[in-house]
Amino acid sequence: AILSPKERPLAGLSAIVTSGPTHEPIDPVRYIANRSSGRQGHAIAAALRDAGAAVTLVSGPVTLPDPIGVTVRHVETAADMLAAVETSLPADIAVFVAAVADWRVAAESTRKIKKTAEGPPSLALAENPDILATIGHHADRPGLVVGFAAETDDLLANARRKLEKKGADAILANDVSPEGGVMGGAENTIRLVTAEGVEEWPTLAKDAAAERLVEWIATRLGRRAA
């Protein structure tokens, strides 16, 4: 069926989405990672596609299938994810959903680290690049940049700080307290934080939250009545 412009409000636009965790190697058999299933990011990539956008999904290691009709670039580390995002520019829209590991092991061992009588090794860490902040301040910055804030405390204050610091147009603030069940779960309770204020969304299944975000994006880009 041919969909009307109303049903494909983002036709002619391109979008980049990051999703999933990153894996930062310790040695050939071990890594540091974040908890993330990739469900929310993959759902957002699919919703942008359904709205008519040409979507590149930059995904860390997940067990989900690649969404159909989306260009998927598989990466492991934060450094690889940043490189894949940068080479996917220019884009009209970017949504950073990945749970990027904040730190990598400073000196990855090329040999398996063995247990010894000296006891456990200590791992020196180095900070990873901030992909959202890099793209939020990029010379080739997409016209609309959206990030997430996963917080257990001071949700809105931290979300506002991230909005400002990372150069985003919106931050979807998400309470990830262990009692909330967001990480790996099927639902999200989101507050959309912009310079204009805070929009409280009801608890939604991750694909419904993705559709709601795409409606917000289409409205913001003037592709849809508010």
> Which residues form the catalytic set?
34
Q: How far is CA 145 from CA 4, 95, 115, 122, 188, in A?
A: 26, 6, 45, 38, 20
Q: How far is CA 186 from CA 28, 37, 111, 213, in A?
A: 32, 10, 39, 16
Query: 194 or 224, CB closer to ligand CTP?
Result: 194
Sole residue written with tokens 């608890």? 203
Tokens standing for residue 157? 């204050």
**According to the annotation, is 92 in a ligand binding site?**
no
| Shortest Å distance, C-beta 172 to ligand CTP | 8
177/181 Cα distance (integer angstroms)? 7
Nearest residue to Ca ion by CB is: 102
Q: How many chain residues are in contact with Ca ion, going by CB under 5 A? A: 1
Among 66, 86, 102, 108, binds Ca ion (CB under 5 A): 102
Query: 52 or 94, CB closer to ligand CTP?
Result: 94
40 belongs to the binding site for ligand CTP (CB under 6 A): no
70/22 Cα distance (integer angstroms)? 20
Q: Give which of Ca ion, ligand CTP, none residue 44 binds (C-beta under 5 to 8 Å, depending on kind).
A: none
Among 48, 98, 209, 217, binds ligand CTP (CB under 6 A): 98
Pick from 147, 143, 164, 43: nearest CA to 89: 143
Among 27, 76, 80, 102, binds ligand CTP (CB under 6 A): 102
Query: 102 or 187, CB closer to Ca ion?
Result: 102
β-strand 144-151 against 93-96: which pairing, if any?
A: parallel
96: amino acid identity, one letter: F
Q: How many chain residues are in contact with ligand CTP, going by CB under 6 A? A: 15
40/58 Cα distance (integer angstroms)? 13
- Sign of the CA dihedral with 130 first, then 18, 164, and 152 last: negative
| Shortest Å distance, C-beta 130 to Ca ion | 8
Q: Give which of Ca ion, ligand CTP, none residue 85 binds (C-beta under 5 to 8 Å, depending on kind).
A: none
Binding residues for ligand CTP, rule: CB under 6 A, are: 18, 78, 96, 98, 100, 102, 128, 130-132, 147-150, 162
Positions touching Ca ion (CB under 5 A) are 102
Binding annotation for CTP = 102, 112, 129-132, 148, 162, 166
